């Protein structure tokens, strides 16, 4: 059975003349569900709930599209795929244009249910986007944000999942949390921020040797901050910052980990701590005052067969490499004036 519900702006003409606040609620149960809601104005609320029973051949698509234009609007979309073994791709899309809007997307697809997709687009200031999946396989998250003082959060508790957050603007906060395994098949998690005073945080962990859990952060602007935390085997954390007074921090705990921090600009500070086996950490800084004796560029490794490399090009740089374990290698290359480097190895 196919269910299609379209709630467009025309539906609200009668009330829009008297007020700008509209509420739309869509509840669907079954297969081949489609919900479309379009709202224009302020203080609007949209709630979409879709539930389908999965089978080995899939229950049919769940598709939800919500578009809101105005300020202080709220969109909530919840999709549930019950049972196990369904292979149908479900899609939840929220587009909000205006200020102080809130969008929430939630997917529940346990066992071997696969193909859940969430996409959020927000244009404006002081907006909040939250995307969550609780279980399943091969899930994807995408958030495109343009504006200032926005908050974007992606939480993925599933296997073979990946997420992307792309932000243009200032003073934005992006957070990604990834659990499960085998995310390397689908490119892991990525945050891209263009602007000043932005903050990116990634926390990814999982299991499955030979399956990469990967996180990438790319920031361009001034006064940006990046934090990457990982716990599990075969992890990779990469941070690239272009601008002034940037800060990067990486923490990897497990086996076969790798961390890379690239900074181009002035007065940058980089941290990388690793605990486990076969770790690799690389920090590359280009510019002036990338570190000082009080807050130097630091690589600390604790394990076996670790490799650390620090490269700096500029003035007043400082480097500190500390390794504890067997078969360590450390290389520091500095070009400029008043550089300082300290390497400590313990076996």
Q: What are the residues facing 200 on neighbouring strands?
A: 174, 226
Residue with tokens 């921020």, as numbered in its chain: 193
- Please list, in sequence order, all residues whose beta carbon lies within 8 angstroms of the beta carbon of residue 259, skipping any fewer than 6 positions away: 228, 236, 237, 238, 250, 252, 272, 274, 279, 280, 281, 282
Decide: 83 and 55 in contact? Cβ < 8 Å.
Answer: yes
Predicted pLDDT at 86: 60
Tokens for 110, please give them. 């346990």
> Taking the chain (347 residues) in consecutive chunks of 10 residues, what is each chunk's mean pLDDT?
45 36 89 90 95 63 93 94 68 96 90 79 98 81 97 87 93 90 68 96 77 86 91 86 89 88 89 90 88 79 90 87 88 87 87
**Tell me, what's the pLDDT at 210?**
60
CB atoms within 10 A of CB 132: 18
Nearest to 295 by CA among 312, 318, 273: 318
What pLDDT, on the 0 to 100 scale, is given for residue 183?
57
The pLDDT of residue 207 is 67
Beta partners for residue 166, in sequence order: 144, 192
Q: Please tell me the predicted confidence (pLDDT) of residue 90.
A: 82
- Identify the pLDDT of residue 176: 95
Q: How far apart are CA 170 and CA 194, in angstroms?
A: 8
DSSP result, 11-78? GGHHHHTT-S--EEEEEEESSSEEEEEEEESSS-EEEEEEEEE--TT----EEEEEEEESSS-EEEEE
pLDDT of residue 234: 79
Q: Judge residue 245's burial from the number of C-beta atoms within 10 Å of its C-beta, 0-12 exposed, 13-18 middle, 19 or more buried.
A: middle
Residue 136: per-residue pLDDT: 72
Question: Phi and psi for 209 in degrees, rounded to 5?
Answer: -65, 140
What pLDDT sits at residue 184? Answer: 52
Distances from the Cα of 266 to the Cα of 223, 259, 285, 314, 319, angstroms: 10, 21, 9, 9, 15
Alpha-carbon separation of residue 18 from 15, 97, 291 (angstroms): 5, 22, 60
Please tell me the distance from the alpha carbon of residue 153 to that of residue 211, in angstroms, as a whole number: 24
- Residues 101 and 217: their CA atoms lie apart, in Å, by 25
pLDDT of residue 85: 60
The DSSP code sequence of 231-298 is ESSSEEEEEEEESSS-EEEEEEEEES-EEEEEEESSS-EEEEEEEEES-EEEEEEESS-S--SSS-EE
| pLDDT at residue number 17 | 33
């Amino acid at each position: 059975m196919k269910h299609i519900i379209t709630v467009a702006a025309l539906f609200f003409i009668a009330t829009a003349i008297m007020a700008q606040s509209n509420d739309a609620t869509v509840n669907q149960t079954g297969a081949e569900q489609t919900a479309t809601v379009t709202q224009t104005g302020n203080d609007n609320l949209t709630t979409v709930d879709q539930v389908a029973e999965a089978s080995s051949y899939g229950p049919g698509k769940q598709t939800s599209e919500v578009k809101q234009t105005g300020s202080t609007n709220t969109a909530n979309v919840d999709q549930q795929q019950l049972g196990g073994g369904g292979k149908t791709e479900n899609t939840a899309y929220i587009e909000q244009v205006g200020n102080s809007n809130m969008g929430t997307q939630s997917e529940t697809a346990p066992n071997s249910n696969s193909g859940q997709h969430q996409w959020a687009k927000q244009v404006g200031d002081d907006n909040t986007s939250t995307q969550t999946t609780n279980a399943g396989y091969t899930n994807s998250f995408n958030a495109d944000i343009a504006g200032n003082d926005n908050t974007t959060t992606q939480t993925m508790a599933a296997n073979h999942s990946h997420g992307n957050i792309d932000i243009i603007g200032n003073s934005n906060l992006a957070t990604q949390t990834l659990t499960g395994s085998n995310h390397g098949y689908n490119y892991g998690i990525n945050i891209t921020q263009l602007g000043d005073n932005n903050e990116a945080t990634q926390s990814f962990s999982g299991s499955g040797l030979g399956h990469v859990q990967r996180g990438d952060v790319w920031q361009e602007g001034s006064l940006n901050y990046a934090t990457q935390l990982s716990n599990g085997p075969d992890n990779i954390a990469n941070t690239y910052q272009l601008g002034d007074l940037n800060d990067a921090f990486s923490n990897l705990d497990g086996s076969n980990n790798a961390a890379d921090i690239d900074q181009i600009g002035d007065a940058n500070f980089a941290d990388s701590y690793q605990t486990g086996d076969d770790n690799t950490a690389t920090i590359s800084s280009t510019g002036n005052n990338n570190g000082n004796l009080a807050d130097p560029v630091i690589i600390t490794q604790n394990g076996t067969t670790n490799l650390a490399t620090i490269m700096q090009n500029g003035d007043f740089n400082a480097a500190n490499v500390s390794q504890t374990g067997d078969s360590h290698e450390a290389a520091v290359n500095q070009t400029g004036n008043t550089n300082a480097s300290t390497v400590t190895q313990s076996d």
